[in-house]
Structure 1
Amino acid sequence: MRKYFITGLLVLVPLAITAWVLNLVIGTMDQSLLILPKQWQPRELFGFDIPGLGTILTVLIVFVTGLLTNNLVGNYVVRMWEKLLQRIPVVSSLYGSVKQVSDTLFSSSGNAFRKAVLLPYPHADAWTIGFLTGVPGGDVRNHLVGDFVSVYVPTTPNPTSGFFLMLERSKVIELDMSVDAALKYIVSMGVVAPEHLPVKSPAASEIN
């Protein structure tokens, strides 16, 4: 009896969690329908809501926005809009910070979250996986002696929260592992291990 129950859990729990996450994401993106006039919303037109319709609308808005801003006129409008926002006291600091983070994360030329690393945490005898986010800047750099890097250490099983650390580069080991594989490893609490790579011999390491 116990064996069958556990087998059922192994089949149903991943499906339930996947369905819950998809429902949460789709439900959030469906909120974009609220920007439409009330008479154009599905409940008014058909008498019931259509799940996923707002998701399609959100994707179209993002695509069209990217398409328009890639031309000269659209780029000019975006710059004017950003200058307007920068003149509003509270909005300017909030928008500027969020834009800087999003540019760093999503820009194809950025280096943030493009390398998984192994580092000692929370003490010297324990190790965990993190992601390189850059190097320390501002006045922080003046107080750190040596070559330091910035690392984000996600928590398990929720990688959206974590810790920001600044470590000596010599204490951080770059992994031959994709960011996706590292995230799966972290979220699964080490259960879903990445593909094992053959160990390099000392001679091969010296040659490379």
Structure 2
Amino acid sequence: MFRTFVSGLILLLPLIITLAVVAWLGQFIIDYVGPSSIVGHALTTIGFSFSASQIVAYVIGLIVFLAVVYLLGLAVESRLRSHLSQFLDSTMRRIPVIGNLYDLIQRFVALMDKNDVEGLKSMSPVWCFFGGLDGAATLALLPTPEPIMVGDKAYHAVLVPSAPLPVGGCLIYVPAEWVQQADVGVDKLVSIYVSMGVTSPLKIPPLPGPGPRKGNLTAT
């Protein structure tokens, strides 16, 4: 009876996990853009101009927001894209502290835009070996090939995405000799993190000899 039960459970397990992930994503979205969130309050404020009901006001505000985003999308797909992008970038980057944060996020979001060739070239996938080449390894993104010097030792700033939402993560300064170019594309790296490692290749090409030293990494 136990074996039969386990067989049925294994059959249903993919469905159960899928529903759990969908429920988690739904709760995540509600927490950040639902009526009780900061974004939700902003949308409700827009809708209050048309209705006194909080739910109706939220729906109206959401429709107005989606319409504005769609109109911006039409503008982006037209010849106005470069002008809008330059105006937004120049405005945000002038703000102290916020400008640096915006620049980092803008470069990361550009990785998701396959039409943005410069964005894809601005970062390159790398392997980070914590503790040396025989230590634990993780796939990360290298924002710039130029190392920084901490005392007399060279370090690389790498972005380690989070799974399953690679738009988050952490910034780590890793000794330069622990960083090597990864023979995977940016799309594949994002796919690995989104799938929480399920889409990892079963065999990875051999690593190119000893770790790189200062100035040996180049963006791809």
TM-score range, shorter chain: 0.5 to 0.7
Contact kept in structure 1, 2:47 and 2:60, CA below 8 Å: no
TM-score under structure 1 length normalisation: 0.60
Partner of 2:182: 175
- The Cα offsets for residues 155-177 of structure 1, whole Å up to 9 and x where unpaired, read as 55564233412332x54332232
Same amino acid, percent of matched pairs = 17
Equivalence map 1:75-154=2 (5 Å): 82=91, 92-106=95-109, 108=116, 109-110=118-119, 114-122=123-131, 124-135=134-145, 140-141=148-149, 143-144=151-152, 149-154=156-161
Amino acid at match of 1:115: S
CA distance in 2, matches of 1:23, 1:181: 27
TM-score under structure 2 length normalisation: 0.57
Contact kept in structure 2, 1:105 and 1:112, CA below 8 Å: no
Shift of 1:11: 1.4
Specify whether residues 131 and 106 from structure 1 end up closer, same or farther in structure 2 by C-alpha distance, changes over 3 A only: same
Shift of 1:120: 0.8
Task: Count how many residue pairs are aligned between Structure 1 and Structure 2.
Answer: 188
Shift of 1:4: 0.9
Contact kept in structure 2, 1:154 and 1:161, CA below 8 Å: yes
Specify whether residues 18 and 64 from structure 1 end up closer, same or farther in structure 2 by C-alpha distance, changes over 3 A only: same
Contact kept in structure 1, 2:158 and 2:172, CA below 8 Å: yes
RMSD (Å), alpha carbons: 4.6
CA distance in 2, matches of 1:4, 1:152: 41
Are 2:38 and 1:28 equivalent residues in the alignment?
no
Contact kept in structure 1, 2:192 and 2:200, CA below 8 Å: yes
CA distance in 2, matches of 1:79, 1:130: 25
Partner of 1:40: 50
Shift of 1:119: 2.2
CA distance in 1, matches of 2:178, 2:152: 15
Partner of 1:203: none
Note the residue ranges of structure 1 that are not aligned, 5 or more in a row: 87-91, 200-208
Specify whether residues 110 and 52 from structure 1 end up closer, same or farther in structure 2 by C-alpha distance, changes over 3 A only: same
Say which is worse superposed, 148-157 or 4-13, in terms of deviation. Answer: 148-157
Higher relative contact order (CA 8 A, sep 6+): 2
Are 2:170 and 1:162 equivalent residues in the alignment?
yes
Contact kept in structure 2, 1:132 and 1:152, CA below 8 Å: yes
Say which is worse superposed, 32-41 or 174-183, in terms of deviation. Answer: 32-41
Shift of 1:128: 1.9
Q: Secondary structure at the match of 2:143?
A: strand
Partner of 1:9: 13
Specify whether residues 47 and 162 from structure 1 end up closer, same or farther in structure 2 by C-alpha distance, changes over 3 A only: closer
> Which protein is richer in helix relative to its size?
1
Note the residue ranges of structure 2 that are not aligned, 5 or more in a row: 111-115, 207-220
Contact kept in structure 1, 2:127 and 2:180, CA below 8 Å: yes
